[in-house]
Each structure stands twice: as C-alpha cells, then as structure tokens.
C-alpha cells in the first residue's frame, strides 16, 4: 500500500509528544497558500468524542442515524461503520476530493512517511518502512517537511495513468458527413488525431458510436452514458470506465492538432490542478474538447450532469480548474472544423 497509485497520502509519524500535530498545524498555511486542498486523517485508537451526550445530534446518532452538521463555513459528517473501513479505502475516498492527505500515525502505518525524532532520539525505528526523511528534534522541521512534499507529491500525482479519449459522433449537418471519417491528407481526421495522442497516453479509447477506419478497429470503444447529451456523455463514459485515471479528452475535428499541443496540455498535470480547459487569447469560448481532466474532476462533472447541465466548461467555476492560454505557436491546434471549406483551409495551414 506504500505507493497506492494516485493517492497522495503521506504519514507524519513519531512517538507520543514528538510534535506531529504541531508540525502539521505549522505547515498548513503554506500548503493552502500554494493552492492545495488538504485533509488530515487521524486514527486515535479509541472511540471518538465529537459530540456532547444527550444533545439532539448525539441522540440521533446513537439511534442509528448518520448525522450531518452544516454551519457557516464548515460542515461535519458523523457516520457509523468506521471500524469496517480499511485505511486504504478511506484514503482512496479522500483522494477524490483532496490534493494531499496527511496521516498522523506511528511507524507501523503502511504509507510513505516522515519520522519525527523525539528529544532523546536521533533515528527512526529500524522496522519503520518507506521513510522518506527523518526530521530531528532541533532542526527546521517545517522546511524539511515542505521540501519532502515538493519532491514527493508531484511524483505521486503523476503516478495515475493517462488515457486519451477521442470523441467521435454521427453525421454532421453542416459538414454533410461524419467528421471523423473525412480525409486530412492521406488519413482520416480520426486516424490523424489518434496518431497525435497515442504516444502520450497509456491507452487511446474511442468515445461514441459510428463507423471507424479498419486501421483503428482494435481500439477500445466506449458507448455514451445514458441520459446525458453532447460530448459530456462521452467524457463521463471515459471517467466512469477508468475512475482512477487522468484523461486527455480530444475531439476528432481538430485537424491542426499536434503532439506539442498535447504535451503542453499534459504539462498542467500537477498537484492542485483538477482540470486544464484552455482559453484562447482571442477571447473565443473555452475549449473543453481539447483539455486535460484529472480524476478529481469527475465529481464536478457528475454534479453538472445531475443538474441537467451538459456543458463541461462550466466546471471552470471551481478554483481547482485552470483556464490557461496556449502559447501562440500552438493555438491553431484548438481550431475545429464544421464546414468543408474549414477543412480545406485547415489542411493548408496544418504543420
């Protein structure tokens, strides 16, 4: 479990009174200022004391209900069954909503860890596993922990696989036929798109229905999710199929797509960024169909779809979603085609 893929959990360990809580409290402002959303998981090893006996909320909990507290600026969920949840399950659940989970624990916890030496200690226990750093009693512990996180967190963040999802559809009324089958030189638009993204992803998946060239018959295909319309149906289909993966979502009608543009998009795969939906410099609309989606973006998309909104760009209302402007030399990659003359013009300009 020490390197659970995509779960950014680091244990802060040490004997009692070694300063674990104080250290976490000290570094929290710096972590939050860097844009990270952070959770702290504690395993006290005894029943929780979180409510006053005989209060209405405590009576309801003891009657068997899970109780949710909502107040200005905060919320609290008290639910039953904590003893049935494994640490690994809890961390995976938290990873859906947090950029970093710090676990306060002892040396036996099966996670990457930093060890806080006590006043009379110089080293961590010999049976402690996966210790990234030992923080001495008299050293600058906050700086040491932050330096460890700077090296470790991006590596864990990038450990989740990247998939490429290519959106295909049926006939286009303005184009007169299915876009993905139109020729761009000696290839179809779909073949060209797959060729540009294939080397950047663990697997390329076709999203949607419709005929595909024989050369791509071996690719995995996912049907659109029901009760969702437009490209959102394909995006959610992809994210439900691989819920722990990151996704490069690409429409099939961008004949000037390049591998450099793909690599630039994936450069936004960094801690704290749940999606990168480019905004072009000439104030054109956001481009959610040539964009990067971390698996943490899925709950944002699911909530949109459940509300009846099928515009993926709406998740840019979240502070965790970036809207970067592509470099000028890459911007043409986001040009889509809707009419035969658009395809002719793009073919002339294609690099």
In this prediction, residue 125 carries a pLDDT of 74
Residue ranges covered by each domain of the chain: 9-157, 162-349
Task: Round to whole Å and give the CA distance between 267 and 291.
Answer: 11
- 3-state SS of the chain? CCCCCCCCEEEEEECCCCCHHHHHHHHHHHHHHCCCCEEEEECCCCCCCCCCCCCHHHHHHHCCCCEEEEECCEEEEECCCHHHCCHHHHHHHHHCCCCEEEEEECCCCCCCEEEECCCCCCCCCCCCCCEEEEECCCCCHHHHHHHHHHHHHHHHHCCCCEEEEEECCCECCCCCCEHHHCEECCEEHHHHHHHHHHHHCCEEEEECCCCCCHHHCCCEEECCCCCCCCHHHHHHHHHHHCCCCEEEEEECCCCCCCHHHHHHHHCCCCCCCCEECCCCCCCCCCCCCEEEECHHHHHHHHHHHHCCCCCHHHHHHCCCEECCCCCCCCHHHHCCCCCHHHHHHHHHHCC
Burial status of residue 192 (CB atoms within 10 A of its CB: 0-12, 13-18, 19 or more):
buried
Instruction: State the 10-residue block means of pLDDT for the chain, 351 residues long.
Output: 67 88 94 94 64 72 76 75 71 88 84 86 75 89 96 92 88 61 80 93 92 92 93 96 94 91 96 95 84 96 96 95 95 79 54 53
Q: Please tell me the predicted confidence (pLDDT) of residue 342.
A: 56
- Cβ proximity of 333 and 249 under 8 Å: no
Those residues whose C-beta lies under 8 Å from the C-beta of residue 288, and which sit 6 or more positions away, are: 231, 249, 277, 311, 312, 313
pLDDT (0 to 100) of residue 2? 43
The confidence score (pLDDT) of residue 351 equals 53
Residue among 129, 103, 93, 2 at smallest CA distance from 43: 103
Cα pseudo-dihedral 19, 21, 144, 41, rounded to 10: 140
- On the 0-12 / 13-18 / 19+ scale of CB atoms within 10 A, 128 is middle
Residues with Cβ within 8 Å of residue 23, at least 6 apart in sequence: 12, 116, 135, 141, 142, 145
User: Structurally, what CATH architecture does the domain formed by 9-157 represent?
Assistant: 3-Layer(aba) Sandwich (3.40)
* pTM, full prediction: 0.87
Paired residues of 205 in beta bridges = 165, 220
> Taking a C-beta distance cutoff of 8 angstroms, is the pair 26, 142 a contact?
yes
Any idea which residue has 């009760």 for tokens? 227
CA proximity to 260, closest of 334, 316, 175: 334
Would 9-157 and 162-349 be classified into the same CATH topology?
no
The beta-carbon contacts of 61-69 under 8 Å, at least 24 apart in sequence, are none
User: Is 236 buried (19+), middle (13-18) or exposed (0-12) by CB count in 10 A?
Assistant: buried
Alpha-carbon distance of 127 to 108, in angstroms, equals: 8
Cα 244 from chain centre: 8
Predicted local confidence at residue 248, as pLDDT: 97
User: Kind of pairing, strands 38-42 and 275-276?
Assistant: unpaired
Q: For position 121, what pLDDT does the model report?
A: 72
165, 195, 315 from 234: Cα distances, Å: 8, 20, 16
**Residues 6+ away with beta carbon under 8 Å from 53:** none
According to CATH, the topology of domain 162-349 is Spore Coat Polysaccharide Biosynthesis Protein SpsA; Chain A (3.90.550)
Residues 118 and 30 sit within 8 Å (Cβ to Cβ): no
């Amino acid at each position: 479990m020490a390197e659970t893929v995509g779960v950014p959990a680091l244990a802060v360990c040490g004997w009692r009174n070694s300063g674990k809580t104080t250290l976490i409290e000290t570094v929290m402002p710096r972590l939050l200022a860097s844009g990270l959303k952070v959770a702290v998981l504690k395993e006290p090893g005894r029943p929780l004391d979180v409510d006053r006996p005989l209060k209405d909320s405590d009576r309801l909990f003891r009657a068997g209900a899970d109780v949710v507290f909502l107040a200005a600026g905060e919320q609290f969920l008290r639910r039953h069954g904590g003893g049935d949840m494994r640490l690994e399950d809890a961390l995976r659940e938290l990873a859906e909503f947090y950029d970093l989970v710090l676990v306060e624990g002892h040396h036996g916890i099966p996670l990457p860890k930093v060890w806080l030496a006590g006043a009379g200690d110089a080293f961590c226990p010999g049976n402690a596993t996966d210790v990234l750093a030992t923080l001495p009693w008299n050293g600058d512990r906050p700086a040491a922990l932050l330096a460890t996180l700077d090296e470790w967190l991006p590596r864990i963040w990038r450990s989740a696989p990247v998939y490429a999802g290519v959106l295909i559809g049926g006939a286009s009324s303005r184009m007169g036929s299915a876009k993905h089958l139109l020729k761009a030189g000696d290839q179809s638009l779909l073949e060209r798109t797959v060729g540009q993204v294939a080397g950047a992803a663990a697997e390329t998946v076709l999203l949607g229905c419709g005929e595909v060239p024989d050369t791509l018959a071996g690719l995995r295909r996912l049907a659109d999710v029901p009760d969702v319309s437009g490209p959102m149906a394909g995006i959610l289909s992809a994210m439900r199929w691989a819920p722990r993966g990151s996704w490069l979502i690409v429409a099939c009608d961008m004949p000037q797509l390049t591998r450099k543009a793909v690599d630039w998009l994936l450069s936004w795969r960094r801690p704290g960024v749940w999606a990168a939906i480019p905004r072009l410099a000439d104030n054109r609309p956001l481009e959610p169909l040539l964009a990067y989606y971390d698996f943490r973006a899925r709950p944002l998309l699911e909530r949109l779809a459940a509300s009846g909104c099928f515009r993926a760009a709406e998740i840019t209302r979240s502070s965790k979603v970036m809207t970067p402007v592509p470099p000028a030399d890459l911007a043409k990659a986001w040009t889509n085609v809707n009419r035969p003359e658009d395809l002719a013009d793009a073919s002339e300009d294609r690099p």
